Amino acid sequence: MDKWDRILRKDNVVVDLQSRRKFDVLRELSAVFDNDDAIEDPKQFLADLIRREKQGSTGIGKGVAVPHAHEDSIFRQILAIGISREGIDFDSADDAPVHIVALLGTPRKHQKQHMELLAELSRLLQQDQVRDDLVEAESAADVLAIFKSGG
């Protein structure tokens, strides 16, 4: 099983984010986990994401943001991918609009795996071709295929 198969499911991909503001995007994308048993409380998960984002933007540049929560109320690693063709003001390091949001949740007790996954996501999403392909993806299946081939 591929590393992405364990944490990224088709139901957790939104290829046409409707929200245009950072915190609205967090709300929209985290909603894919509302019925997921990986999270104890979806409202708390969103609050954790917002709290982390207020500490400093997770917009890492090149049109990418990686908002994340690392809490006891998360039972296993989870990942959602959101695509915005129009772009989102995410207060990114390079001031560029964000087109790809990789929303990550990990259990607090898995600090090492959390850091490894953040690093792997960053490496993958720094690739120009991967970013271009993701922004052009027309379906969740396309996004999953890009992750499998690029990662």
Residues in the chain: 151
Query: pTM (2 decimals)?
Result: 0.94
- The answer to whether the CB of 69 falls within 8 A of the CB of 49 is yes
CATH of the domain at 31: 3.40.930.10
Structural domain of 129: 3-150
* Mean pLDDT estimate for the chain: 92
Q: How far apart are the first and last CA of the chain?
A: 13
Alpha carbon of 130 to those of 41, 56, 67, 103, 137: distances in Å?
A: 32, 25, 19, 17, 10
Share of the chain above pLDDT 90, in %: 78
Report how many domains make up the chain: 1
Residues designated as active site: 68
45-75 in b/e burial notation, b at 16+ Cβ within 10 A? bbbbbbebbeeeebbbbbbbbbbbbbbebbe
Tell me, what's the pLDDT at 100? 98
